[in-house]
Amino acid sequence: MSLAVVLFYAFAIFTVVSAAGVAFSPNVVYSAFALMGTLLGVAAMYVFLAADFVAMAQVLVYIGGILVLMLFAVMLTHRIATANISNRSVGRVPALLIVSGVGLIMGRAIYRTNWVLGTDLPDAPSTYAIGTGFLGTYVLPFELASFVLLAVLVGAVAISRKELRDAQG
């Protein structure tokens, strides 16, 4: 086995074990930190797939943004002194049945299909192609995305601000 294959297995196992930590940890704070390991491992998967820009976007947006937001929400919403901070979960057995059924079907689909593979090109930087794609073929979704982000910004502020009308009226 070459070094790349060994590294791939190491990162894949790291990713899946961290995801299992997210799924099975009784404490939601530990889940949030395990999610960081998963997101880093997924970024490593992107590097193995020669997707340099996506890997950097994953680290910047997911770990720098979403994970910090989640940690803030976790710390703001559980009362450390009084409550049990463990998140109780229900229906483990039905959930395991559903999940294993879905997993078996999808695994069968993965290994029974004859995937049509393209030509194996050497790895190259993908930023140029992504940039021209964003301002060429995908310019409409790209502009729509900026509008969605503006709406989200306004919406998140509108939801979480203090309601002043009740105090006045």
Partner 1 sequence: MHGISLEHFLTVGLLLFVLGLYTVLTRRNAIGILMGVELILNSANINYVAFARYGGSSTDGQIFAIFVIMLAAAEAAVGLAIVLGIYKNFDSIDVEATDTLRY
C-beta of 120 vs 164, nearer to partner 1: 120
Closest CA to 75 of 18, 21, 28, 25: 28
117 touching partner 1, by CB under 8 A: yes
Among 81, 114, 115, 166, binds partner 1 (CB under 8 A): 115
- The amino acid at residue 79 is R
Among 10, 135, 139, 145, binds partner 1 (CB under 8 A): 145
152 touching partner 1, by CB under 8 A: yes
- How many residues belong to the site for partner 1 (CB under 8 A)? 82
Cβ atoms of 70 and 32 closer than 8 Å: yes
Rounded-to-integer distance, Cα 105 and Cα 83, Å? 40
Q: Give the footprint of partner 1 on residues 3-22 (CB under 8 A).
A: 4-5, 8, 12, 15-16, 19-20, 22
3-state DSSP call for residue 161?
coil
Cβ atoms of 45 and 12 closer than 8 Å: yes
140 touching partner 1, by CB under 8 A: no
Rounded-to-integer distance, Cα 130 and Cα 137, Å? 10
Minimum distance, C-beta of residue 163 to partner 1, in the bound complex (Å)? 10
89 touching partner 1, by CB under 8 A: yes
